[in-house]
Amino acid sequence: MTEDILLYALVGFVAQLVDGAIGMAFGVISTSVLLALGVPPAVASAGVHAAEVVTTAISGISHWMHGNVDKRLFLRLAVAGVIGGVTGAYILTQIPGKIAQPAVAIYLCAMAALIVYKAFVRRPAVPVTRGVVPLGMAGGFLDAVGGGGWGPIVVSNLVARGNSPRYTIGSVNLAEFFVTLAISIAFFFTIAPTYFVAAAGLILGGALAAPLAGWMTKRLPPRLLMLLVGLVVLSLGTLGIVRLAVS
């Protein structure tokens, strides 16, 4: 059991370091490892979200302290994400969660291409005010169903539409805490809590990396942030397409 916890802790540290800096990938990386180890999808998603309650709290506070949060954007995303996340958690326990994977993979690749393009075109950041609530609901829903996806869906969309990478990442990270908490509560009441070992390891590693999140986002140049977001989103979308091709 000790070796398992240390393995999960290493996964949690790496995943949170990436997630905290660019606003995505903790859930996707962690869930991918758990699924590769033979953990059932619902249990893997529940374990990852239980861990994210702690890691997103620390990361969100870090972003808040470094001034990376747009309060209005955060509030709208948090409320919408909670609604979508609870709905997704319930559906995942009733039906297989692979129905939306092809569309999500293609969407992420398209968003990645747009983000990388905009990183090389110098235009001032334009705050996004339209479509935030539907985006938050979709991000929360897909996050619960896929064990990850809040960051890739929400961050990629907002950055691609011209929102400031810094304030997007900070606001999405802080909102993710409330989304994750709601999803974890929903899972607790719908499946048996058999995911504590995985969650404990992910929490340990993620908690060590989370305090670095706000500092890294504040210090990295906007263009570099956009490139990093675009490359990670492209990698996640490509990985999703490859999985579908070989499954």
pTM of structure: 0.72
State how far Cα 106 lies from the chain centre: 17
Task: Tell me the pLDDT of the chain (247 aa) as tens digits.
Answer: 666 788 888 888 877 777 777 766 777 777 777 766 767 766 777 778 788 888 888 888 888 988 999 999 999 999 999 999 988 888 766 665 555 556 656 766 776 676 666 667 666 666 777 889 999 999 898 888 766 678 878 888 898 888 888 899 899 989 999 998 998 888 777 666 666 777 788 888 888 887 776 777 777 776 777 677 677 767 766 776 776 677 6
